[in-house]
């Protein structure tokens, strides 16, 4: 069988499939189980400076096409989370700490205090006031926060981007300018659900984030666009539930693939996906490098090199001068 190992955003992984933040990442024991089930790496629940209870319930709505959640970033604070990371490492794969804050200083504080194999900066949660998407929609914030963490640590730094913007490439370029080793795309889409009998919004926070199969086409589009605009790797996440979904992500340009909502069906899906990728590559006589970004190489209408002006003149200037733009293959 073809090897699935390789470098993803500065980490050496035995396979490109990872646990996404927010699912089974609260305890070291659950992350260790995911690792032992065959994941190439695990990403923790997002951790902040102070403990948070999150939003009042209901916090999750199950739909036929996925889930809407409005957890509100509940976490015990980074000050008591190192033990969970240490336990997760017993699974034998890299452990990436997802962290959030309201300022560059808070992000740097958390990253400096935790011993992890990498950090994923949550600049994309759509349902936590003052955090996530609220600050991550501004390219200047993305660049400044990324740079602060990059200066504070010597391990890989990934930036998880929100799709709830006009053009996600602007945010990706800002993360790259700040020194990110990779970007992760995407977080959930803003969504809501209403109880028709009462007329009340179902979620306690009213607005939440949609995940699951419904958002996969959006995630694929974002990975495709980002991989054509950036020199750093893109990690795809959103709606991956089978090996075909993972292959699509890689064909769109993803260096790695994260899985979240699909794990509600059981950890065996991890082995099913990785084995499916291996069998597919073997049947086609290909390897991962052969299929990575193949959709761009074979696409009939690749994006133009002309890029719309961004909110940040420095970001736009960098792209126009070709400093961060990957030539279309």
Q: How many helices, marked H, and strands, marked E, lie in the chain?
A: 12, 14
DSSP 200: -
Spatial distance between the Cα atoms of 17 and 257, rounded to a whole number of angstroms: 5
Which of 80, 13, 29, 10 lies closest to 52 in space, CA to CA? 80
Residue 137: left if φ>0, alpha if ψ -120 to 50, beta else—which one? alpha
Q: How far apart are CA 259 and CA 248, in angstroms?
A: 13
Question: CA angle, 167 as apex, 163 and 170 as ends, to 5°?
Answer: 105
Q: What is the phi/psi pair of residue 89, to 5°?
A: -65, -20
Instruction: Give yes or no for a contact between 181 and 156, defined as CB atoms under 8 angstroms apart.
Output: yes
Peptide bond into 38 cis (omega under 30): no
- The 3-state DSSP class for residue 211 equals strand
Give how far Cα 177 sits from Cα of 116, 155, 191, 218, Å.
23, 17, 30, 24
As annotated, the active-site residues are 125
């Amino acid at each position: 069988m073809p090897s699935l190992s390789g470098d993803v955003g500065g980490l050496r992984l035995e396979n490109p499939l990872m646990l996404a933040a927010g699912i089974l990442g609260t305890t070291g024991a659950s992350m260790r189980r995911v690792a032992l089930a065959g994941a190439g790496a695990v990403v923790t629940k997002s951790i902040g400076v102070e403990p948070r209870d999150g939003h009042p319930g209901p916090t999750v709505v199950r739909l036929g096409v996925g889930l809407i959640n409005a957890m509100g970033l509940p976490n015990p604070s980074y000050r008591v989370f190192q033990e969970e990371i240490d336990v997760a490492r017993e699974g034998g794969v890299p452990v990436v700490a997802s962290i959030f804050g309201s300022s560059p200083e808070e992000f740097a504080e958390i990253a400096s205090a935790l011993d992890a194999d990498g950090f994923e900066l949550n600049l994309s949660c759509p349902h936590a006031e003052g955090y996530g998407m609220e600050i991550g929609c501004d390219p200047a914030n993305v660049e400044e926060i990324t740079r602060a963490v990059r200066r504070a640590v010597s391990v890989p730094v990934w930036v998880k981007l929100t799709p709830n913007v006009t053009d996600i490439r602007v945010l990706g370029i800002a993360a790259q300018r700040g020194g990110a080793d990779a970007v992760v795309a995407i977080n959930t889409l803003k969504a809501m659900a209403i109880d028709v009998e009462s007329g009340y919004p179902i979620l306690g926070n009213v607005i939440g984030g949609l995940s699951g199969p419904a958002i996969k086409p959006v995630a694929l589009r974002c990975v495709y666009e980002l991989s054509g605009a950036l020199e750093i790797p893109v990690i795809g996440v959103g709606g991956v539930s089978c090996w075909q979904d993972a292959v699509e992500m890689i064909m769109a340009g993803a260096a790695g693939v994260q899985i979240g909502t699909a794990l509600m069906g059981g950890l065996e899906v991890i082995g099913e996906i990785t084995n499916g990728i291996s069998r597919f590559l073997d049947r086609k006589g290909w390897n991962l490098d052969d299929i990575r970004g193949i959709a761009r190489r074979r696409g009939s209408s690749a994006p133009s090199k002309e890029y719309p002006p961004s909110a940040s003149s420095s970001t736009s200037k960098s792209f126009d001068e070709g400093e961060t733009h990957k030539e279309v293959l």
